[in-house]
Amino acid sequence: MVTSAPAMSGLDVFEELESEVRSYVRAWPAVWSRAHGASLWDEDGREYLDFFSGAGGLNYGHNPDEMIAALTRYLQSQGIIHSLDMATTAKRDFLRRFEEVVLLPRGMNYKVMFPGPTGTNAVEASLKLARKVTGRQDIVSFTNAFHGMTLGALALSGNVVKRESAGIPLEHQLTAPFDGELGEDVDTVGVLDTMLADESTSVAAVIVETVQGEGGLHTAHFSWLQRLSECCKRHDVLLIVDDIQAGCGRTGTFFSFEPAGIQPDLVCLSKSISGSGLPMSLTLIRPDLDIWSPGEHNGTFRGNNAAFVTATEALSWWADESLANEVRRKSEIIHTELASIAEEHESLRATPRGRGLLQGLHTPIDGLASGICHEAFERGLLMETSGGAASDVIKLMPPLTIEDEDLERGLAILRASVEATAP
Ligand SMILES: *Cc1c(COP(=O)(O)O)cnc(C)c1O
């Protein structure tokens, strides 16, 4: 006798078979089947606007036409998919294009390391190299930082719940206060300066996000980043910028630290570096620090050539200033709207935060940010919260390439969601 399975709603299989660790599917209980640009469709054909952009992995929207065309051509010509760190035409094209479009015009001189394909792999590689170069063990990270989930990166996290998931003590890490953490009037670089001067510490590197993507959109002033860079130099400590979320154009320049005029010793990129959502990451290394011996750090999926193909294509967006200008223009639109929502709804006690197309609203009212994001989902807009365990920031991260009409439609949904939820 054939026993038929119980009638299934589209999500039953995930509840039955997939680990309890799943999270976004709980916030957005839909089964997604198709996406293009700033839109996602569930399997019933309902359209949602995407102000989440794969947590920053989809800066150019879903399935960008030129990248998908390049990828399709590559696959149909039997292009190499997997190559560890062997030389391939796809990797060569990427490296040349990256040099030509990103490094040379900015007067930047870095060696490119391909670690494993995720962001946390790029962070781990930078930590390992910083420790090897300096012979010191400790890394300074900042309050509310997020740098990834593997143990080295997790030790840098400001989020207690995430830290505890390690199940072991996370060591060789010191926390310094981020810009603004001790109030507007306190220059927290002074605190770091004192920490680094303490002879009982043995700090190899300081790692920083210019805008804290997961930790609440706290945004460093350019002058603070400059003082940070000087402080690291003064103490002969390496500066790592984790540009995994804020980089690749998210804040309006290819690297988020460009307007500060600093040159970090190491830079981590991932999320949108492939442009298409395919996994890829890079650690950029100041050439004289590149003291790895061959194979000392490795990984099976360092040669994700499909990602190199779309990454090369994605760099076309940076061959001139037009996308950067667009991001700045759209970020003004968002800032104006957020400031006006905050002003019109005093009960939110909201303040705008962030920079570029990585902005949001902080509200200290318990559960409100999540409530607004939930309401937005019901109305057809994906938006995430930020702010660690408190989740007290509504975060807007539309594709950089979003059409004005979609941007305005999304902002209107946000406004309506606030109006429906505000106390
Ligand atoms: C997402 C993120 C990471 C980790 O990247 P994964 O690909 O999830 O490992 C690290 N740092 C920052 C700033 C991030 O936003």
Q: Counting atoms of ligand 1 from 1, which one is nearest the CA of 121?
A: 9
Probe ligand 1: pick from 52, 146, 269, max atoms within 8 Å of CB? 146
Global pTM reads: 0.97
Q: Counting atoms of ligand 1 from 1, which one is nearest the CA of 209?
A: 13
56 and 192 together in one domain: no
Position 4 in a domain? no
Q: Containing domain of residue 169, as a range?
A: 68-318
349 and 408 together in one domain: yes
What local confidence, expressed as pLDDT, does residue 8 receive? 52
| DSSP-derived secondary structure letter, 36 | E
- Establish whether residue 270 lines the binding site of ligand 1, counting it when its CB lies within 6 angstroms of any ligand atom: yes
Position 5 in a domain? no
Q: What are phi and psi of 209, to 5 degrees?
A: -105, 135
Position 210 in a domain? yes
Answer with the one of 318, 345, 370 that is the final residue of a domain: 318
Residue 208 C-alpha to ligand 1 middle, in angstroms? 12
Position 356 in a domain? yes
Burial 67-104 (b: 16+ CB within 10 A, else e): beebbeebeeeebeeebeeeebebbebbbebbeebbbe
- Establish whether residue 209 lines the binding site of ligand 1, counting it when its CB lies within 6 angstroms of any ligand atom: yes
What local confidence, expressed as pLDDT, does residue 46 receive? 98
Helix axes 222-234, 189-197, angle to 10 degrees: 10
341 and 228 together in one domain: no
Position 143 in a domain? yes
- Establish whether residue 147 lines the binding site of ligand 1, counting it when its CB lies within 6 angstroms of any ligand atom: yes
Q: Counting atoms of ligand 1 from 1, which one is nearest the CA of 55?
A: 1
Q: Say which CATH number the domain at 129 has.
A: 3.40.640.10
- One pLDDT digit (tens) per residue for the chain, 423 residues: 555 544 456 999 999 999 999 999 999 999 999 999 999 999 999 999 999 999 999 999 999 999 999 999 999 999 999 999 999 999 999 999 999 999 999 999 999 999 999 999 999 999 999 999 999 999 999 999 999 999 999 999 999 999 999 999 999 999 999 999 999 999 999 999 999 999 898 999 999 999 999 999 999 999 999 999 999 999 999 999 999 999 999 999 999 999 999 999 999 999 999 999 999 999 999 999 999 999 999 999 999 999 999 999 999 999 999 999 999 999 999 999 999 999 999 999 999 999 999 999 999 999 999 999 999 999 999 999 999 889 999 999 999 999 999 999 999 999 999 999 988
58 and 72 together in one domain: no
Q: How many domains does the chain have?
A: 2
Instruction: Name 108's Cβ contacts closer than 8 Å, sequence gap at least 6.
Output: 102, 263, 284
214 and 286 together in one domain: yes
Helix axes 404-421, 322-344, angle to 10 degrees: 20
DSSP string, 96-129: HHHIIIIIGGGT---EEE--SSSHHHHHHHHHHH
78 and 209 together in one domain: yes
Position 203 in a domain? yes
Answer with the one of 256, 290, 318 that is the final residue of a domain: 318
145 and 27 together in one domain: no
Answer with the one of 318, 353, 374 that is the final residue of a domain: 318
108 and 224 together in one domain: yes
What helix, strand, coil percent values describe the chain, rounded to 5?
40, 15, 45
Position 6 in a domain? no
Edge to edge, the sheet with strand 384-386 lists: 351-355, 358-362, 393-396, 384-386
Position 305 in a domain? yes
402 and 348 together in one domain: yes
98 and 205 together in one domain: yes
Q: Beta strand 238-242 with 266-269: parallel, antiparallel or unpaired?
A: parallel
- Establish whether residue 245 lines the binding site of ligand 1, counting it when its CB lies within 6 angstroms of any ligand atom: yes
> Contact at 8 Å (CB) between 214 and 146?
yes
Q: Say which CATH number the domain at 54 has.
A: 3.90.1150.10
189 and 78 together in one domain: yes
203 and 110 together in one domain: yes
DSSP string, 49-67: EESSHHHHT-TT-BS-HHH
